[in-house]
Amino acid sequence: MRELWESRYAEEEYAYGVKPNEFFKQEIDKLEPGKLLMPGDGEGRNSIYAAGNGWEVDAIDWSAEAEKKAAQLARKNNVLVNFIVDDLRTFTVEREIYDAAALIYVHMGGKDREYLHREVVKGLRPGGILILEAFEKEQLGKPSGGPKDPELLYSLEEVVEEFIDLDMKQLSRETIELDEGKHHIGKATVVRFVGQKV
């Protein structure tokens, strides 16, 4: 898995572009800036957008190549982001220090995904907001991006189960038009979720 991401992010072009994900931007713009956790943010497009709007950001990804490109993009945008290279399957989050967290196309399966989701929720302060956008099960086989393994895709039921401790603010399954670099382009079926820690 790590080799795939190192190879993808080693290319000169930004794999998913340099603009933030639209749903992430829409939701983060509603919040008062504070401390933000961004696991799996790759080359940093979402982290850098948030930092430019006053957020203090910890971005964690397992690709060293992604971290290099994210640091370059941060410098270009004159913002500071704390980029951390770590394994999303095992890293631990400090408890209740984040005002928000976002999981934007972070696709893992089984126990690894459950572990990551638990850690992210533990890291949120009471009142903290989680923003998630990911490919839904029906995305399988569509050319607009996403994993080829159905276990790595999401269903509404799985999101409800895995974030049962959060107060649900939004949950939807939508068909959208993606335009995020060369790997996310075209019609896609996604899950969108916003939850608040009580």
- Residue 189's pLDDT band, with cuts at 50, 70 and 90, is very high
Structural domain span for residue 175: 2-197
Average pLDDT, the chain: 94
- Residue 15's pLDDT band, with cuts at 50, 70 and 90, is confident
pLDDT of residue 1: 60
Look up the pTM and report it.
0.95
Q: What is the CATH number of the domain that holds 99?
A: 3.40.50.150
pLDDT of residue 10: 72
In this predicted structure, the answer to whether residue 2 has a pLDDT above a threshold of 70 is no
For residues 80 and 51, is the Cβ–Cβ distance under 8 A?
yes
In this predicted structure, the answer to whether residue 75 has a pLDDT above a threshold of 70 is yes
Pairing of strands 184-197, 124-135: antiparallel
Please compute the mean of the pLDDT values over residues 155-159 and round it to a whole number.
97
- Residue 188's pLDDT band, with cuts at 50, 70 and 90, is very high
Spell out the alpha helix ranges (H) of 53-155.
64-76, 110-123
Q: How many domains would you assign to the chain?
A: 1
In this predicted structure, the answer to whether residue 70 has a pLDDT above a threshold of 90 is yes
Burial bucket for residue 34 (CB in 10 Å: 0-12, 13-18, 19+): middle
- Residue 13's pLDDT band, with cuts at 50, 70 and 90, is confident
Give pLDDT tens digits for 86-95: 999 999 999 9
Q: How many CA atoms lie within 13 A of 20 on its CB side?
A: 21
Please compute the mean of the pLDDT values over residues 115-120 and round it to a whole number.
97
